[in-house]
Amino acid sequence: MLQDRETAPTRSAPLFQSERQRKIVTLVDTHGAIEVAELARHFQVTTETVRRDLSDLQDKRLLKRVHGGAVRWEPFEPLVIKRTAVNNSDKRRIATKAIEELPEAGSILIDAGSTLLRFAESIPAGRHLHVVTNSLPTAQAIASVDSATVSLLGGEVRSDTLSIVDAHAVEEIRKLHVDVLFISTDGATETGLSTPYTYEASLKGAMIAAAERVVALIDPSKFGQDHLFRYSDWSDIDVLVTGMEADAQTLESIRAADVDIRLV
């Protein structure tokens, strides 16, 4: 009961709507979730009044209505943005090192992913590049580089990653030929690169086939993860950029496949 959590308002003086709504927001922020019936008892108003209050507050993005009550307002944040915050310093170091593989001019293809977003953000001005990507955040980052142009693959946008990975995107990739591909992965083992998603495996495989040179940017945490769909052997990769913490035995197997390894 709210009375157990917070001193109840004075019963002899009903609150004005604005004050009641302010207190409702405070209660939801404090406790995370509140039921309509509990709020009605607490403020001595009808449940219909509480529901109107909650609707008004949701319109103002101060809370979110759910069945029977309300919860804190949590703004939508694409999964790629959340992932970017994980191991962020490692990803920045890998991205900065990978810039050494960037040509002064030409065509490049950048895969979707949080490490690759950091890479796109690190591209310096003065490189005359035509960049193709399937990632909306990456396209936005490249658009700020005056000397570069960017093309976004067509297809359906995934709301969690803001990337395009459907069959239409695969068909577009198959028509391309680029100088360098910068790619990442969900899993990396001695036998190759993998992902749990069949559509991503198809797209990544098509990207590798479209490129003269392939540079893989891989967070060390991905090593040892082997997913259902393998889309590449290490023989398809020219350069691997990763952290010092990557598994040493796996790195030796990768070197044996004639991959240049750049550790940061």
Same domain, 113 and 62: no
**pLDDT category, 203, cuts 50, 70, 90?**
very high
Domain extent at residue 67: 2-72
pTM above 0.85, yes or no: no
Same domain, 92 and 58: no
Residues 6+ apart with CB under 8 A from 34: 2, 24, 27, 28, 69, 70
Instruction: Say whether pLDDT at 13 is over 70.
Output: no
Instruction: Say whether pLDDT at 76 is over 80.
Output: no
Beta bridge partners of 188: 193, 223
> Quick one: pLDDT at residue 18?
85
Of 44, 72, 100, the residue at which a domain comes to its end is: 72
Residues of the chain with pLDDT > 70, as a percent, come to 89
Helix axis angle, 136-143 to 114-122, nearest 10°? 10
Residues 6+ apart with CB under 8 A from 60: none
Same domain, 40 and 94: no
SS (H, E, C) the chain: CHHHHCCCCCCCCCCCHHHHHHHHHHHHHHHCEEEHHHHHHHHCCCHHHHHHHHHHHHHCCCEEEECCEEEECCCCCCHHHHHHCCCHHHHHHHHHHHHHHCCCEEEEEECCCHHHHHHHHHCCCCCEEEEEECEHHHHHHHHCCCCCEEEECCCCECCCCCEECCHHHHHHHCCCCEEEEEECCCEEECCEEEECCHHHHHHHHHHHHCEEEEEEEECHHHECCCCCEEEECHHHCCEEEECCCCCHHHHHHHHHCCCEEEEC
> Which CATH number do you get for residue 19?
1.10.10.10
**pLDDT category, 193, cuts 50, 70, 90?**
very high
Separation between Cα atoms, residue 236 and residue 214, nearest integer Å: 7
Same domain, 144 and 244: yes
> Quick one: pLDDT at residue 37?
92
> Quick one: pLDDT at residue 109?
98
Average pLDDT of the residues in 200-204: 95
Same domain, 173 and 258: yes
Separation between Cα atoms, residue 251 and residue 254, nearest integer Å: 5
Total domains in the chain come to 2
Same domain, 124 and 218: yes
Q: Tens digits of per-residue pLDDT, 39-68? A: 999 999 999 999 999 998 988 878 888 888
Of 48, 72, 96, the residue at which a domain comes to its end is: 72
Query: Rounded to the nearest 5°, which phi and psi values hold at 185?
Result: -160, 160
Q: Tens digits of per-residue pLDDT, 178-190? A: 999 999 999 999 9
